[in-house]
Amino acid sequence: MPKERLVVVGNGMAGCRAVEEIIKRDPDRYAVTIFGAEPRVNYDRIMLSPVLAGEKTFEQIVINDAAWYDRNVAALHTGRKVARIDLAAKRVEAEGGLKVPYDKLILATGSDPIRLPLPGADLEGVVTFRDLDDVGAMVAAAEKGGRAVVIGGGLLGLEAAYGLVRRGMDATVVHLMDILMERQLDESASYLLRGALAERGVETVMGAQSEAILGEDGSVAGLKLKDGRVLPCAILVMAVGIKPAVEVAKASGLACQRGVVVDDQMRTSDPSVFAIGECAEHRGIAYGLVAPIWEMCRTLAEVLTGDPEAAYEGSTLQTRLKVSGVDVFSAGKFAGGPGCEDLVFRDAGRGVYKRVVIEAGKVAGAVLFGDIVDGGWYYDLMRRGEDIAELRDTLVFGQQITEALRGADPRSAVAAMPDQQEVCGCNGVCKGEITAAIAGQGLATLEAVRAVTKASASCGSCTPLVEQLLQLTLGDGFQVQTGPKPVCACTGKGHDEVRRRILAEGLKSIPAVMQALEWATPDGCSACRPALNYYLLCAWPGDYRDDKQSRFINERAHANIQKDGTFSVVPRMWGGVTSAAELRAIADIVDKFAVPTVKVTGGQRIDLLGVRKEDLPAVWSDLNAAGMVSGHAYAKGLRTVKTCVGSDWCRFGTQDSTGLGVRLEKFMWGSWTPAKVKLGVSGCPRNCAEATCKDIGVVCVESGYEIGIGGAAGLNVRATELLTKVATEQEAIWTICAVTQLYRETGWYLERIHKWLGRVGIETVRARVEDPEDRRALYDRFAYSQRFAQIDPWAERVAGRHAEEFTPLTRRLEKAPA
């Protein structure tokens, strides 16, 4: 049987996806011809913003490469516009006289950006933001620097402005309304968004009506507002909306309103002609987001491959903004309305705002800012129309807390998801496709799932869900991989990449790193500077010069700042062992400096609280004189080794736990680590030193030493995992130093050992420290680094180092001449 002729007008996301969906169902039914106006293969248009921002390349956003067209498409005509459709003759007529007959025709012509008819709109440098050519024009303009003005504070306009800032321009967004992204956000979220954008260099002007675009020598020079203000600019981006591209359909006699009118089977007024995507109007709505397009494509594919009853019934929408570090989510009736109730959560400190709108006992919409992890969950509850009466108390705190309180395993929700439920909104991938690919093709990693199914390959917000599916399908065989979370808002680079490049490119100063890795801020922020300082210190021991101004105050002043601006001082007591002489000296210091509070800490130390900063060097001097050095209670480094009395005194003690603790502390003190490190050594499994909730804990037994890592008793409480068991004390020291070095080299700044362990997996760590050569190499690197680290910072400062840190400026008594 000869193949039917299927012609697709439009080589974009909708057209190609429709072809994919059809081929998936019936690979041999149609001979496909595609017409495309852009002279290139199909790419992910929603990822143009990251391309503009320089966070992705064009190659990374190509959806269908040349090989795909070779395999699946009989003829591809790019850069050729379709002029007319002869409905009677069932024939497409393209520019240049090309005529192609069809049996079935799909219109996927998408939409055109709206250009405001302002005076000066035709000046050079006035662009829209729609396709790769627009991105090219903006990138070229950005190379010259200066200011960009973007008209339109919707999703696209904000992404364009942010992208231009990342390219080195200043950007101002001019918005007609008083709320940014008013179709997705409410006033509170818009307020937070304005602040977050301002931090990233995007200025927003609200309630501003554009009057005219001003030019100079034929190029854009500024935007004049109705209130008389003039905003100078080197490039002007119009991002005020889109309109369905219906010219060809209209000229050919198909019924059109705003878009090409289609029924629930995506059929136009001509029974052989279908329309999908942004050019189509379904039940009075022309969609401009990607998720509905995928749903339309699936329905159309069903209809064209033998299920005439398949029906598209419209979509509920969700939106996310693609601006690095600014998390915004919106879905449904986010702004409430009559008969709606609001559940609102705000955390000013973290800049988090969540509003869940309830209508008739169901989720009707949500808007989230700052923390959008639960966006998918709310969206899901909304789409399923689930009764949330029982969840209501905790709904706003998110899925994890809600389900934990109800005793449900969060994974059971994922397990219970129907196969046809969509997981990846960007690429329209359902749960069933993902699990089938994992099981059928033996996929074991997130990357593999991305490559095969495209799920989580675009914006990445469904990554946790895809990981849960991997976990469910593979069980313990799956290790969660964390995506490259940017170090901070100053960069798009993740911690691992930064660390790798410091070593690979021999970067040896903070400015060198910021230059090479294209930091977006002149000198970083309070998040990245301490991180970079640590990474450099760890990478180049003895070589890198510590940058004091990139240390938090506690590490700069070698004491812990308290809420009243005074400091606390904790001298080192090796393994928690002290003596009469030390205690006497401490007592004298307390009297001499009128220290208000003396407290015993959880790590078996004595804490002197309320010392004035100016007094610190003198206090340290007295402590030094009594043989005591810095206890580093302030450091992202080795803090304390807590011990019990062990075999020396205890009738149950199996080994010399105190001695081991002292030896460990003497060897490891002064080392800087990604986050604080606390050790414990217990002399028997009764565990009086609480070693099993320390970052690294040793439990002595008759036959040797059990070494556990990843314990915590702070924000998180968890017991250590057994890393290994060794027979001798020397081996215990080697192993502990090796694992500490591995953590030093691969941990992310401020990531405690248990978090690190969760990321890299205990198997990896165990393999490294149980391999004798690897353990030796790690230990040697730790020991080498200690040669430069074990200098008592207190003694240095007693001797006068950084004296200005501890001396206030003194005002000259005489007044300066006015």
Partner 1 sequence: MNAPVKDLVSPTWTDVGAVSDIPVRGARRAPTARGAIAIFRTGDGRLFALKDACPHKGGPLSQGIVHGHAVACPLHNWSIDLATGEPLGADRGKGCAAVVPLQVREGRILVGIG
What residues make contact with partner 1 under the rule CB under 8 A? 192, 195-196, 198-199, 348-351, 370, 521-526, 529-530, 548-553, 556-557, 561, 563, 565, 804, 808-812, 814-818
- By beta-carbon proximity to partner 1, the closer residue of 349 and 418 is 349
Taking the complex as a whole, how short is the minimal distance between the CB of residue 370 and partner 1, in angstroms?
7
- By beta-carbon proximity to partner 1, the closer residue of 8 and 368 is 368
Taking the complex as a whole, how short is the minimal distance between the CB of residue 526 and partner 1, in angstroms?
3
- For 224, the 3-state DSSP assignment is strand
What is the DSSP secondary-structure string of 56-94? S-HHHHBSS-HHHHHHH-SEEEET--EEEEETTTTEEEE
- By beta-carbon proximity to partner 1, the closer residue of 313 and 814 is 814
Sign of CA dihedral 103, 104, 108, 109: positive
Contacts for 292 with CB less than 8 Å, ≥ 6 apart: 314, 315, 317
Taking the complex as a whole, how short is the minimal distance between the CB of residue 437 and partner 1, in angstroms?
40
Taking the complex as a whole, how short is the minimal distance between the CB of residue 648 and partner 1, in angstroms?
42
Q: What is the DSSP letter of 47?
A: G
Tell me which residue has tokens 């889109």: 242
Taking the complex as a whole, how short is the minimal distance between the CB of residue 555 and partner 1, in angstroms?
11
> Phi and psi dihedrals of 82, rounded to 5?
-85, 130
> Phi and psi dihedrals of 537, rounded to 5?
-60, -40
Residues 608 and 586: beta-carbon distance below 8 Å:
yes
Taking the complex as a whole, how short is the minimal distance between the CB of residue 548 and partner 1, in angstroms?
8
- By beta-carbon proximity to partner 1, the closer residue of 150 and 196 is 196
- By beta-carbon proximity to partner 1, the closer residue of 71 and 801 is 801
Q: What is the DSSP letter of 46?
A: G
Taking the complex as a whole, how short is the minimal distance between the CB of residue 215 and partner 1, in angstroms?
34
Helix-then-strand count for the chain, H and E: 29, 38
- By beta-carbon proximity to partner 1, the closer residue of 376 and 524 is 524
Taking the complex as a whole, how short is the minimal distance between the CB of residue 496 and partner 1, in angstroms?
23
Amino acid at 775: R
Taking the complex as a whole, how short is the minimal distance between the CB of residue 669 and partner 1, in angstroms?
25
- By beta-carbon proximity to partner 1, the closer residue of 561 and 590 is 561
Taking the complex as a whole, how short is the minimal distance between the CB of residue 365 and partner 1, in angstroms?
23
Q: What is the DSSP letter of 538?
A: H
- By beta-carbon proximity to partner 1, the closer residue of 67 and 816 is 816
Residues 6 and 33: beta-carbon distance below 8 Å:
yes
Cross-strand bridge partners of residue 760 = none
Taking the complex as a whole, how short is the minimal distance between the CB of residue 34 and partner 1, in angstroms?
47
| 61 vs 16: CA distance, rounded Å | 14
- By beta-carbon proximity to partner 1, the closer residue of 419 and 523 is 523
Q: H or E element: which one contains 582?
A: helix 580-592
Of 260, 267, 375, whose CA–CA distance to 317 is shortest?
Answer: 375
Q: Any idea how long the chain is?
A: 818
Cross-strand bridge partners of residue 126 = 236
| 730 vs 733: CA distance, rounded Å | 5
Residues 398 and 374: beta-carbon distance below 8 Å:
yes
- By beta-carbon proximity to partner 1, the closer residue of 504 and 816 is 816
Q: H or E element: which one contains 99?
A: strand 99-101
- By beta-carbon proximity to partner 1, the closer residue of 209 and 549 is 549
What is the DSSP secondary-structure string of 605-619? -EEEEEE-GGGHHHH
Taking the complex as a whole, how short is the minimal distance between the CB of residue 15 and partner 1, in angstroms?
42
- By beta-carbon proximity to partner 1, the closer residue of 196 and 443 is 196
- By beta-carbon proximity to partner 1, the closer residue of 715 and 816 is 816
Residues 693 and 701: beta-carbon distance below 8 Å:
no
- For 692, the 3-state DSSP assignment is helix
Q: H or E element: which one contains 31?
A: strand 30-36
| 161 vs 369: CA distance, rounded Å | 19
Of 79, 61, 60, 78, whose CA–CA distance to 69 is shortest?
Answer: 78
Taking the complex as a whole, how short is the minimal distance between the CB of residue 190 and partner 1, in angstroms?
13
Structure tokens at 194: 């304005």
Of 104, 93, 99, 148, whose CA–CA distance to 5 is shortest?
Answer: 104
